[in-house]
Amino acid sequence: MSLFDRLGGAPAITAAAELFYRQVLADPLLAPYFDDVDMDRQVAKQAAFLTMALGGTDRYTGRDLRTAHAGLAGLTDEHVDRVIGHLAQTLRELGVAEGDIAAAGAVADSARDDVLNR
């Protein structure tokens, strides 16, 4: 059973995506990238990202992430590190065990090169 299923599937992920998105928006390094986006659509993308990181799907591929981030100037490893940090913090607040958090972080990290377009 994936962590996605253990956390409660799609309904639980929608709530988790809001927690995660709020942390990202509160981060001054990351917030400017979200200034002109539709929040309902963006939180849905955050949910898709969490679903991937938690093993709920293998369909959200790196190519989607590559395309989605291609137009964003100035993205560096630090941005990716911060996002993975917020992911860990979100899961911690939801009571997820550290081993599972590390596993989710590793899946997210596997998209690093796609996000940074290299």
* Residue numbers at the binding site for other proteins (CB under 8 A): 4, 9-11, 13-15, 17-18, 21-22, 25-26, 39-40, 43-45, 47-48, 50-52, 56-57, 59-60, 64
14 vs 82, beta carbon nearer other proteins: 14
Cα(81)–Cα(19) distance, integer angstroms: 18
25 vs 94, beta carbon nearer other proteins: 25
43 vs 98, beta carbon nearer other proteins: 43
Distance of CA 16 to the CA centre of its chain: 10
Cα(16)–Cα(23) distance, integer angstroms: 11
Least distance between other proteins and beta carbon 111 (Å): 14
What sign results for the dihedral spanned by CA atoms 26, 19, 65, 104? positive
44 vs 76, beta carbon nearer other proteins: 44
Cα(3)–Cα(60) distance, integer angstroms: 16
Least distance between other proteins and beta carbon 67 (Å): 11
Least distance between other proteins and beta carbon 32 (Å): 13
Least distance between other proteins and beta carbon 29 (Å): 16
